[in-house]
Structure 1
Amino acid sequence: MNRHDIRLLQAVRLYPSVTITSPTHRTTPDNKQDPIRVRNLVTEATNRLLAEFSRRDVEPLLSRLEALVNDIDYRYTLDGLALFVNRDIGRQFILPFTLPERVVVDETFWTRSLVFALNRTPRYWVLALSEQPTRLFEGVREHLQEITGEGFPMTHTGPGGERGLPNDPAINRSAYRDERHRQFFRQVSAALTPFITDDPLPLALVGIDRYIAFFREVSPHAGAVITTLTGSHDKTPAQELGKLVWPLVEQNLAVLRAGALKELEAAVGAQKYASTIGEVWRFAHEGRVSVLLVEENYHQPARIAADGVTLTLVDDPTLPDVVDDAVDEIISLVLEKGGRVVFVDDGALPQHQRIAVILRY
């Protein structure tokens, strides 16, 4: 799941729409209880629907939900499961982060916990460049999930790809083939645009040197490239590819974190920064945050004043009118307003009380 998926789900307005989330487990014996847990949540959702509608009215929804649940292969689940179902839509996501047990029946799908989990998870795109075909993956640590649909996977069907090169001695076959590859990778770049626009994650390129060079030459997304894995990986399964790519991404993410801390030092000298959660909250609401730096395990429940810009920190997140985690709210707000978020090691921002921002102005 990525922010592109979430935006599509958030656009849905149809009652009843059912969201079911549950933790799952990767190994035995913990995963033995996962089917029972999920089935209990499905029963809860069914009972809530039948308390409000006749079975005939919600039969298409219940049938779609049953089909989704029957399709779960618990041998390959990860840390969380999310199901989104109404009479028109049925989506299942196997996720590499944990989720709470929850059933929500509403006009909209419930995506809040997924948004916050995505915000705190090191994610990246992987574009495996090839003629047959170019594949797009969403990466979470070493786990890769292939994106299918909306243009991917993409096969080079033109001359030099599935079709042979023209047999004309007047044509420079090498130059002709290269130009057709450039055209193909322009198409790949265009297909990538909605994903990287909705979810501007670092990009890892995989492929032979020529393909990587062509993509860098023609794509406006070349600046998002964080690392490359050279070689032919047309047939490499996602599981193996993730194990090869993630160490390279992890190494370069560490470089980005170090660079962000240096940027913060410069911003402090130029008086273009803010520290402490209360000040950061205010500037985030004003849309003035260019870069947010936050320690990885910093969480803080808080109460938001009526003016929307004043925070009162509390210790108990279960109190009335308390936001479970104001840090997560800040992260989402900064991303929505086009800012960048960098997680740093715990203890890296002691003088800023664990959170700081570089201001646009």
Structure 2
Amino acid sequence: MNRHDIRLLQAMRHYPSVTITLPTHRTSPDNKQDPIRVKNLVTDATNRLLGEFSRRDVEPLLSRLDALVNDIDYRYTLDGLALFVNRDIGRMFILPFTLPERVVVDETFWTRGLVFALNRTLRYWVLALSEQPTRLFEGVREHLQEMTNEGFPMTHTGPGGERGLPNDPAINRSAYRDERHRQFFRQVSAALTPFITDDPLPLALVGVDRYLAFFREVSPHAGAVVTTLTGNHDKTPTHELGKLVWPLVEQNLAIRRTEALKELDAAISAQKYASTLGEVWRFAHEGRVDVLLVEEDYHQAVRVADDGMTLTPVDDPTLPDVVEDAVDEIIAVVLENNGRVVFVNNGALPQHQRIATILRY
């Protein structure tokens, strides 16, 4: 799941729309309980629907939900599962992060928890450059999920790719082939643009030296590249490719965290920073946050005053009129305003009470 998927779900409005989320398990014996928990949640959703509608009215929705559940292969579940069903669609996402156990029947799908979980997940793009074909993956740690829409995977069908080079002695075959490769990787770059625009994550490139060079030469997205894995990996299984790429990405993210802390020190000297939860909340909602730094496991439930800016921490996030996690809210607001979020190690921001910002002005 990526932000594009969430936007599609958020755009759909029809009552009833059913959302089912739950944590799942990767290994036995913990995953033995997952089918039972899914069945119980589906029964809960079904009973809610039949308490309000006739079976005939909701039979298409229930059939779609049953079809989704029947497609779950519990041998390959990860940390979370989300099901979305209404009269028009049925979508299932197997996710590499945990989700609360919840059934929601509403006019819209419940995506709030997904947004917050997605915001806290270290994700990245992997673009595996090749003629046969170029593939795009979304990565979470060592787990890769291939994108099979919006033009990907993409095969070089022109001369120098699937089609042979022209048999003309007047043509410099090497230069001709190189130019056709440049054209192909321009097309790859254009297909990548919607993904990078919707979800501007770090980009890892995979490929032989020639293809890496061509992409960097022709693509406006070369600046998003954080690491490269050199070599021909056309036949490398996805799970093996993830194991090769993730350590390189992880190393780069560690460097970025160090650089962000240095940027914060410079912002403190220039008096262009804010810290503590209440101050960061205010500046985030004013759209002034350029970079948000937050410790990885920092969560805080709060009650927000009528002015919308004054926060009072509370211990119980389930109380009425309480924002379950003000830190998640801040992260979402910063990202919506095109700010950057950097998660740092726990204990890295003690003088700032675990959260700090570099301000735009």
- TM-score, normalising length from structure 2? 0.98
What's the secondary structure of 1:322's corresponding residue?
Answer: coil
Counterpart-to-counterpart distance in 1, 2:287 and 2:83: 33
Query: Alpha-carbon deviations, 1:219-275, whole Å to 9, x = none?
Result: 111111110000001111110000000000000000000000000000000111001
Counterpart of 1:332 in structure 2 is 332
Counterpart of 1:48 in structure 2 is 48
Counterpart-to-counterpart distance in 2, 1:158 and 1:61: 45
Counterpart-to-counterpart distance in 1, 2:53 and 2:193: 42
Counterpart of 2:288 in structure 1 is 288
Counterpart-to-counterpart distance in 2, 1:23 and 1:315: 24
Gaps of 5+ in 1: none
Counterpart of 1:256 in structure 2 is 256
Letter in 1 for 2:108: T
Query: Alpha-carbon deviations, 1:256-296, whole Å to 9, x = none?
Result: 00000000000000111001110000000011100000011
Counterpart of 1:67 in structure 2 is 67
Counterpart of 1:239 in structure 2 is 239
Query: Alpha-carbon deviations, 1:172-227, whole Å to 9, x = none?
Result: 11111111111111111111111111111100000111111111111111111110
**Moved >4 Å (runs of 4+):** none
Counterpart of 2:230 in structure 1 is 230
Gaps of 5+ in 2: none
What's the secondary structure of 2:300's corresponding residue?
Answer: coil
Alignment of 1:58-137 (within 5 A): 58-137=58-137
Counterpart-to-counterpart distance in 2, 1:317 and 1:217: 51
Alignment of 1:258-273 (within 5 A): 258-273=258-273
Counterpart-to-counterpart distance in 1, 2:237 and 2:87: 34
Counterpart of 1:348 in structure 2 is 348
Alignment of 1:201-216 (within 5 A): 201-216=201-216
Shift of 1:58: 1.4
The answer on 1:317 being equivalent to 2:317 is yes
Counterpart of 2:2 in structure 1 is 2
Counterpart of 1:302 in structure 2 is 302
Shift of 1:171: 1.2
Shift of 1:319: 1.9
Shift of 1:357: 0.3
Letter in 1 for 2:232: S
Query: Alpha-carbon deviations, 1:299-324, whole Å to 9, x = none?
Result: 11111122222212222212221111
Counterpart-to-counterpart distance in 2, 1:103 and 1:268: 45
Counterpart of 1:180 in structure 2 is 180
Counterpart-to-counterpart distance in 2, 1:152 and 1:41: 35
Letter in 2 for 1:120: R
Q: Count how many residue pairs are aligned between Structure 1 and Structure 2.
A: 361
Counterpart-to-counterpart distance in 2, 1:227 and 1:64: 41
Counterpart-to-counterpart distance in 1, 2:307 and 2:217: 49
Counterpart-to-counterpart distance in 2, 1:9 and 1:152: 21
